[in-house]
Amino acid sequence: MTSIALNTSAFGESLRAQIAAGRQVSEIFFVACGGSLVDLFSARFFLARETKRLRADAYTANEFVHATPKALGDGSIVVLCTHSGGTAEAVESAKIAQSAGALTVTLTHNEGAKIAEFSDYNILYAWGDDSRVSDNPMAIALGLGLEILQQAEGYAAYDDFRNAFHQIDGIVDAGCDAVRERAKKYAQKHGDDTLFYVLSSGPSFGHAHGFAACSLMEMQWLNGSAIHSGEFFHGPFEITDNQTNFIVLQNEGCTRPLDERVIDFLSRYAQDFEIVDARELGLGTLPAGVVDYFNPVLFYSVMCVYREALASVRNHPLETRRYMGKVDY
């Protein structure tokens, strides 16, 4: 196991050497659970869209264990993430991947992580209020995807992508400041609501799911559901009325028209909807060819401001749990 601290470029250099020595790379599997899986979705979207010959897929860890893809082998790279480093399903997935001959890359915040025992490259990431978003798992996973693509087949926008990593922290900081008062007003208005629909598209649909499942359901015990903006008009839009609460995470980039279509419909048939617009929050200053992939990086931090405001108004601390870590499951 090789330990790399917050340096995806070092992984890229090592991968380049292995490819030069004859290693084949044919598929990349992103494997995790819960919020850690959400952190990997944007990297999967990036590779699935940009690669010309690689296969990229994402699995919840227990499904990877029980329905292991038959393509898994020595041409595979498996990227796994677990904040604690000891999530049983993730550890078992790493064992399976390594035993199949795959190159395993693990991301964790725990220096003594169990999963590192089954890792070829273990990346320790920063966490907390003082950490930069570019050092958090979502951005690191994107960096890994970038290096895999660059080394396996080349990527014309590689330098633009690397430069965007240097810009994203400032954009996120300004975005969080910009929504702080708005988030307080939103929480005051919706603190007694019990149902929230979160819509987005493209690279940010994974975060729409993450906000609904982790921030609302897990941390606030509120009913939440994510709807893909492209799927909204194929059934879900029938629940639209003046009382239903919607949050739209509006992307900057290629899938923005999907989100705009939803907003146009809600503007005509609903009253209760919140738009969080990546363009308004400054993401459009990133190079156009790579801006899509940084939407969820921005939305994660900005929506943390919203969930903290809800927690404050509802007097429900984000750390409160009924079942997680307290009962057998």
CATH of the domain at 292: 3.40.50.10490
Confidence at residue 129, expressed as pLDDT on a 0 to 100 scale: 72
Question: Do residues 170 and 134 both lie within one domain?
Answer: no
Confidence at residue 1, expressed as pLDDT on a 0 to 100 scale: 53
Question: Do residues 112 and 257 both lie within one domain?
Answer: no
Q: What burial class does residue 151 get, using C-beta atoms within 10 Å of its C-beta: 0-12 exposed, 13-18 middle, 19+ buried?
A: buried
Question: Do residues 183 and 257 both lie within one domain?
Answer: yes
Q: Which CA distances in Å does 12 have to 142, 163, 212?
A: 12, 16, 34
Nearest by Cα to 213 from 3, 85, 38, 78: 38
Domain residue limits at 206: 160-314
List, for the chain, all residue ranges whose pLDDT scores fall below the cut of 50: 5-6
Confidence at residue 111, expressed as pLDDT on a 0 to 100 scale: 87
Question: Do residues 179 and 217 both lie within one domain?
Answer: yes
Mind giving me the DSSP string for 91-136? HHHHHHHHHTT-EEEEEES-TT-GGGGG-SEEEE---STTS-GGGS
* Amino acid, single-letter form, for residue 178: A
* Amino acid, single-letter form, for residue 185: K
Q: Which CA distances in Å does 54 have to 29, 46, 76, 96, 257?
A: 11, 12, 10, 21, 27
How far apart (Å, rounded) are the C-alpha atoms in residues 187 and 278? 20
Q: Which CA distances in Å does 287 have to 124, 168, 179, 250?
A: 28, 11, 23, 18
Q: Whats the size of the chain, residue-wise?
A: 329
Cite the beta strand spans of the chain per DSSP E.
Answer: 2-5, 27-32, 55-60, 76-81, 103-108, 121-124, 195-200, 223-228, 246-250, 273-277
Domain boundary among 152, 181, 215: 152
Confidence at residue 133, expressed as pLDDT on a 0 to 100 scale: 87
Confidence at residue 252, expressed as pLDDT on a 0 to 100 scale: 98
Sign of CA dihedral 262, 268, 272, 273: positive
Confidence at residue 57, expressed as pLDDT on a 0 to 100 scale: 98
Domain boundary among 122, 152, 182: 152
Is 324 within the bounds of a domain? no
Question: Do residues 290 and 178 both lie within one domain?
Answer: yes
Please tell me the pTM assigned to this model: 0.95
Confidence at residue 2, expressed as pLDDT on a 0 to 100 scale: 55
Confidence at residue 9, expressed as pLDDT on a 0 to 100 scale: 87
Q: Centre a 10 Å sphere on the Cβ of residue 122 and count the other Cβ atoms it contains.
A: 24
Is 325 within the bounds of a domain? no
Question: Do residues 77 and 130 both lie within one domain?
Answer: yes
Structurally, how many domains does the chain consist of? 2
